[in-house]
Structure 1
Amino acid sequence: MSSKVAVVTGSNKGIGFAIVRGLCNRYEGVVYLTSRDVEKGEKAVADLKKEGLSPKYHQLDITDIKSVEIFSSYIKASYGGIDILVNNAAITFIENAMESVAVQAEKTLFVNYFSTLSTCEQLFPLLRDGARVVNVSSSSALLKYIPSENLRQRFLDPSLTIPELSNLMREYVDAAKMGTHVGEWGISPYVVSKIGINALTKIQQRLLNDQDIKVNSVHPGFVDTDMTTQKGHQTINECAQAPLYLALDAPDSVKGKFVWSNMWIVAWEA
């Protein structure tokens, strides 16, 4: 029950896999690699064990509340809490995807924002004193990519609540379904979803300011993975460095921030 615990969502491949690798190499605690697909997750664990590392595995599908509840109950019963949580699981559609913008918007926001939020709601009660949360974001998660000044100001409201932010995300999905989104929201569901993650990070930290818990978001870099259709120029290990910095090395003063791949704090509202 006393072991320190690190959890990385969506970590059977890509940056999440490299974050698990980095934690296994450096973290003095139990590291959980999680994935939606059990077979893929167990293979990823086996691959890391070939490197002499010792991650543990548990199935976790952030889009399935029952899966999240089972995982939460398991961690609570087995360890009593969580010390590092890396919210990495996310999706994006390829550039020339055949799905309509309406479908892309609904699915992208459901996974990247709403499912991350529901996972946090289940796992945050398990965060122990000194815990660190890393929400994986993107270089595209800057408010300048939202054309509407009114929308930008709503995101920047210092008293913005999670229900209000969720309503903003629903407004975007509704606009995409009506085909009226471009003028105010821009063209990318992924951008909106990650702006939502940056805004959520700010709110989460504000709500936890009276506790010794740090919540930050991070642009890990432009990685050569399936998500970027191999257009990225960095390796997964390179892109794991900034998330690992926030999980392990950042000063306690770094909280509620958006950190770039070079470990610089960025003004996401710029």
Structure 2
Amino acid sequence: MTAKVAIVTGANKGIGFAIVRGLCKRFDGDVYLTSRDVERGNNAVEELKKEGLNPKYHQLDITDKHSLEVFRDYIKKNYDGIDVLVNNAAIAFKNSATEPVSVQAEQTLFVNYFCLVSACEVLFPLLKTGARVVNVSSSAGHLSKIPSAELRRKFIDPGLTVPQLSELMQGFINASKQGTHAAEWGNSSYAVSKVGVTAMTMVHQRTLADKDIKINAVHPGFVDTDMTSHKGMLTIEQGAEAPLYLALDAPDSIKGQFVWFTKEIVSWDEESRWRILSRFSL
């Protein structure tokens, strides 16, 4: 059990698929394309094999605790641990969605935040010393998307824990059910879910720093995918560039950061999301 292993969730299409393609070309080890649907996942693997690449496949539904545990046990049996984990799986309601805000809030946060928390709880014990974790966030995951200054202060509290963050996320769901969410949280369940993902990145980095694990959140850009109704201007290959940079190339000093698709570190807790802390060449 000496082979390195990289894992990408929600990878049968879109940015996740392109990340797997990039890892297969450059990562010195096994690359797992995972997906909820087995048929779609296997079809994606076959497509990459036609390109001369050799990804491996395993079913993984982050909304299913049993699926997470089966996958964990498989990795534990066959590898010494996880070298790269790209948390890509997510959902988004369309702008034209007719579901009530409360339904959109509960379902979006369930998948994008709470199930990601569960996935990390199950898989993080397998992370090797020096491992890299990339959480696919969004420009919507910038803290400036939260109108309330009091809430923003809670998100950047240096003592914030994952259970406390989860309470904050549940607070948005509760407010959406009461119709009182807009003033403090805004109207986008997707934005709140991705703010949660970015905040969780910072919390996990603090708690795992002693293992030299690098955890970063990334905005992959506005990409032409099903999730954006194919309105994005970037190709999936372009959307994969920053996640691949963090997974393979970024200096070890880049950890607990919010990274733009241009490979720039963006100050997450400043009012302007455009305040650049560091710049790296494409």
TM-score, shorter chain, exceeding 0.5: yes
C-alpha displacement at 1:126, in angstroms? Answer: 0.3
Q: Alpha-carbon deviations, 1:50-96, whole Å to 9, x = none?
A: 00000000000000000000000000001121000000000000001
**Does 2:41 match 1:41?**
yes
**For 1:166-205, what aligned pairs fall within 5 Å after superposition?**
166-205=166-205
**Does 2:137 match 1:111?**
no
Q: Percent of aligned positions with the same letter in both sequences? A: 65
Separation in structure 2 between the aligned mates of residue 123 and residue 206 of structure 1, nearest angstrom: 17
**For 1:48-127, what aligned pairs fall within 5 Å after superposition?**
48-127=48-127
What residue number does 2:149 align with?
149
Separation in structure 2 between the aligned mates of residue 221 and residue 93 of structure 1, nearest angstrom: 18
Separation in structure 2 between the aligned mates of residue 226 and residue 94 of structure 1, nearest angstrom: 10
Gaps of 5+ in 1: none
C-alpha displacement at 1:108, in angstroms? Answer: 0.3
Separation in structure 2 between the aligned mates of residue 226 and residue 46 of structure 1, nearest angstrom: 20
> What SS does the aligned partner of 1:208 have?
helix
**Does 2:244 match 1:244?**
yes
C-alpha displacement at 1:130, in angstroms? Answer: 1.4
Count of residues in Structure 1 that have an aligned counterpart in Structure 2: 270
- Root mean square deviation of aligned Cα: 0.5
What residue number does 2:129 align with?
129
| Range 73-82 or range 240-249, more displaced | 73-82
Q: Alpha-carbon deviations, 1:88-108, whole Å to 9, x = none?
A: 000000001011110000000
Separation in structure 2 between the aligned mates of residue 130 and residue 155 of structure 1, nearest angstrom: 26
Instruction: Tell me which amino acid in the other structure corresponds to 1:103.
Output: V
Separation in structure 1 between the aligned mates of residue 129 and residue 156 of structure 2, nearest angstrom: 28
> What SS does the aligned partner of 2:211 have?
coil
What residue number does 1:209 align with?
209
**Does 2:254 match 1:254?**
yes
Separation in structure 2 between the aligned mates of residue 15 and residue 200 of structure 1, nearest angstrom: 21
Instruction: Tell me which amino acid in the other structure corresponds to 2:239.
Output: C
Separation in structure 1 between the aligned mates of residue 173 and residue 32 of structure 2, nearest angstrom: 33
C-alpha displacement at 1:129, in angstroms? Answer: 1.4
Separation in structure 1 between the aligned mates of residue 102 and residue 222 of structure 2, nearest angstrom: 26
Instruction: Tell me which amino acid in the other structure corresponds to 1:47.
Output: E
Instruction: Tell me which amino acid in the other structure corresponds to 2:120.
Output: C
Separation in structure 2 between the aligned mates of residue 7 and residue 113 of structure 1, nearest angstrom: 19
Instruction: Tell me which amino acid in the other structure corresponds to 1:225.
Output: T
What residue number does 2:277 align with?
none
Separation in structure 2 between the aligned mates of residue 17 and residue 50 of structure 1, nearest angstrom: 14
C-alpha displacement at 1:143, in angstroms? Answer: 1.3
Separation in structure 2 between the aligned mates of residue 63 and residue 43 of structure 1, nearest angstrom: 22
> What SS does the aligned partner of 2:113 have?
helix
| Range 138-147 or range 219-228, more displaced | 138-147
Separation in structure 1 between the aligned mates of residue 170 and residue 158 of structure 2, nearest angstrom: 20
Instruction: Tell me which amino acid in the other structure corresponds to 1:241.
Output: E
What residue number does 1:163 align with?
163
Instruction: Tell me which amino acid in the other structure corresponds to 2:61.
Output: D
C-alpha displacement at 1:141, in angstroms? Answer: 1.1
Separation in structure 1 between the aligned mates of residue 190 and residue 221 of structure 2, nearest angstrom: 15
What residue number does 2:279 align with?
none
Instruction: Tell me which amino acid in the other structure corresponds to 1:94.
Output: K
Separation in structure 2 between the aligned mates of residue 16 and residue 56 of structure 1, nearest angstrom: 14
Separation in structure 1 between the aligned mates of residue 140 and residue 99 of structure 2, nearest angstrom: 21
> What SS does the aligned partner of 1:228 have?
coil
What residue number does 1:16 align with?
16
C-alpha displacement at 1:165, in angstroms? Answer: 0.1
What residue number does 2:280 align with?
none
